[in-house]
Every structure is written in C-alpha cells, then in structure tokens.
Amino acid sequence: MKQQSLMGMLGSAMGLRLAMAALNFGLFWVLSHRLDSNSLGGFSLLMNIFLLLQLLPLLGLAPAFIRRAAAEHENIQVELSNGVAFALPVAVVLGLGIGVIGQTTYGEELHASFWLIALAMLPTAWIQVAEVTLLGRERMADIARVQGAEAFLRFGGALLVLQLGGGLTGIFAVITLLRFAVGLAYALLPELPRPRWRDCQLAIWYRHWHEVPMYLGIALLAGFTSRLDVIVLSRLQGLHEVAIYAAASRLYDAALMLPTVAALTMMPALARLFASDRDQFGRLLTGALRASLGVGMLVALVVSACSELIIGVLYAPGMSAASDVLRWLIFGAVFMTADQVLSSTMLAARAQAHDFRALALSLVWLVIGLFWLVPLWGPRGVAIAVTLTPMIRVAYRLRWAAATLGLGGLWRDYLRQLAALAAGVFAMELVWSTGVVWRALAGCGAWLLAAAVVGLVHRGLLQDWRAGWTTLRRRQA
C-alpha cells in the first residue's frame, strides 16, 4: 500500500471517529435532558444490542472478505454476490431472534423498538458486505462519507421525532429507515459491483462455513465483551441504573477514540518491524506500551479526580450518580490502549488462537465480575468489572509475548505499572473528601513516586521515547 493511500485511509478513519463520537455523544446528551431515566436506559440498552447485531451478518468473516477484496480484484463481483447470499439469511435469523427475545423478555414499551431493530437487519446484510468490499479496495473515504451522513441524519431525525412526541419508537424508526437509506447509497456507488444471483456458487458457500468457527468465535467474544455490561445491568438492576451507567460509558467510549487512532497509526510500522527487525520491534513495542500506560494512567487519575465536576457540567442533576461510574471506568480506557497494540502484535505473529484465548479468558471474568459485583454495587460494580476485563486480557497477551517473543521485560513493566497505579488510586481515595485539586495532586504525586521507586521513571526516559518515535516515523515513511 502506498504511503499516501495509507495516510488517506487513516485520515478518513480519524475524521469518521471524531464525527461519530461528537454526534453520538450529542444525541445522548440531548436525550439525557429530554427523557426520563427509564426511557434513557431503554435507549442505551437498545443501541447496544443494535450495534452488536450490525457486526454479525457475516458471522465474523469480515477480515477474510477484506483480504480477498484487496488481493483478488478480478473476483470482486463473485465474492460480493456470494457474500450477500451468505449474510442475508443470517440477518433474517438474527432479526427474528432479537425480536422474539425483546417481545418475551422486556416491557411492552420496548417491544416496537426491538422489532424495528430486527427489521434493520435486512439492509445491514448488504451494508456489511459493501463496507468490507470497499475497505479491501482502499475506499475508506466512501465509507466515512456515508456513515458520517447517517450519523448526522440520525441526530437530526431523533431530535425531530422527540419534538413531535415520538419517543423511543420514533427514534428507532428513524434509525431503521436510515439503514435502508445507507443500503441504497451503497447500491448506487459506481465503485461497487451489483450482486448477481447467478454468480452464487455452492463451493464458495461451503468455504465460508469452513472459515466461520474461528472468526465467529473472535467476533462474538469481542462483541459480547464490549456490549454485555449494559445487557446484564438491565436484567439485574433495571433501566434507571442503565441510564446512570450509560452517562459515564459515553465518555469512556469517547476516551477510547484517541487510543484507537494511535494504535492504527503505529501498527503498520510495528508489523514491518516484526518481520524485518525483531530486536528493534521489541524495543519499540516496549517504549510504546510504557508511554501509553504511563501517560494514560496520569490522565486517567486526573479524570477520576474530576469525575464529579465533569458529570455535573455535562448532565442534569439526576445523572450525578454517574460520577461514581466514571471514577472507575476511565481506567479501562488506558488498558484498552495496550490491549489494541498487543492484539495487533498477535495477529502479525499469526497467533489468532492466542488472541481467541485472551478474549475468552476476559469474557469469563466479565461474566463472573458482572454477576458478582452488580448486586453489590450496581452501576459502579459494572464499571469495576469492565475496567478489570482489559487488564486481565493485557496480562495474558504479555505472558504470551514473554514466552513466544522473548519479551519478558514487558511483563515485568506491566506489574510495575499496576503497582504505581494502585499507589495513585489509594492516595486519591485517602484524600477524596478534600476536593478535586487535592485528589488529583495526591493521585498523580503518588503514581510518580511509586513509578520512580519501581524504575518506570528514570533520567533517560524521554530520550528513549524520542528515539522510538523517530524509528516509528522512519518506518512509516
């Protein structure tokens, strides 16, 4: 891939994430001031289910479709046609299943919205195939334009529906109609061939099903790990608690944007180094993890100390309990940064099986943690369980890196990072009642002191980071 093409795709991805984060948070912020807590919790639950289902019509085969679209340009028409034929029946089954679950499990006020989500699965089958094909053809800008327009129209349409008194059903009617509009937009793109049923081949259909188990396992584990929190909380506590948790979770999602973009920026260089210079790869990976965890933990300590102020400024007084959720949840964003870098390292090393095990281990903990901590602490228990999930996943990935790549120093660094974070959180808890400034100073000061004691902070640290960044830029160029 040419550098210009890579940077163009990265720019489109970054712009899309910025726009989507702003519009999605803006919509939730408006709803938090217009809906009661139960309706706001219902919206958060339904959106989590909706976003999870959007990833499943291809049963996790999106990476395989992207790879073929990139490498086999002459077969795109056939692959796209077979992809639609594969995804459409799956989408129908998923839609019927979620409609029935919503009808039999949740209150009557959510029934119509569940069936609207089910209906949205029909265009989603085509949309997912179209988007993975465009990704394979390096047409990220086309996806960014379409998804950005969808987010903007969803925001405006939801506000209009609220003004007309439509409620949740009206909002999800808008979301479903826009899914059909997005499908039409992709169908009209000249860069995409049209599906042709005569191109469908039984051999390709069998190939898809042969590839499904591993890919679907990874997709399901990743999807459920990111969406299970709201679903379990809605069943164990109720929609009011879901609204409280979602208010903080929206800020957590926004905090994940920068780590994701940073990981996307680093991964091409890391992948090339892994193949060509394993020693330099180890040094760069060590420096990247030290920098991301160290800087991230300091920022998270400040955000945690200011959680009451942040929630008070952004939300109505009825959402004040969300500060206790943000206070713990923000640390999860730090561990997610390391997790994304290490996950890509596993894929570069063709260690998909270990990636699967890391996801499975963290999901087991998440289920145990949710059912253990939610009855004790409600939304705060969810935040603690969610924060510990990537922490456990990173620990497994680092043990793999130590055993397979000979990077035992990464594992020792991680233990030192956890010790420094524990010192920072403990110091902040001791002075919590003294106010925002003293909390932040105590937390950051204790972290820096502990980091110096265990050897994370030393005189040559900035020079090491500067040298690593210079290597990264040279490799990207």
User: Distance between CA 41 and CA 450 in Å, rounded?
Assistant: 40
Alpha carbons within 13 angstroms on the beta-carbon side of residue 121 total: 27
193 DSSP 8-state letter: P
Task: Find the angle CA(71)-CA(75)-CA(79) to the nearest 5 degrees.
Answer: 100
Please tell me the distance from the alpha carbon of residue 128 to that of residue 150, in angstroms, as a whole number: 15
Tell me the pLDDT tens digit for each residue of 334-392: 998 888 888 877 766 767 788 888 888 988 999 999 999 999 999 999 999 999 999 99
What pLDDT sits at residue 96?
Answer: 95
Query: Quick one: DSSP state of residue 279?
Result: H
d(CA 303, CA 462): 24
More confident: 256 or 187? 187
Rounded CA separation 379/422 (Å): 22
Quote the pLDDT of residue 459: 56
Find the mean pLDDT for residues 4-33: 67
Answer yes or no: are the C-beta atoms of 371 and 228 closer than 8 Å: no
Other Cβ atoms less than 10 A from the Cβ of 353: the count is 11
Confidence class for position 432, pLDDT limits 50, 70, 90: very high
3-state class (DSSP) for residue 194: coil
d(CA 433, CA 376): 23
State the pLDDT confidence band at 17, using cuts at 50, 70 and 90: low
pLDDT, residue 438, reads 94
- The confidence score (pLDDT) of residue 306 equals 94
pLDDT band at 469 (very low <50, low <70, confident <90, very high): low
Rounded-to-integer distance, Cα 310 and Cα 250, Å:
12
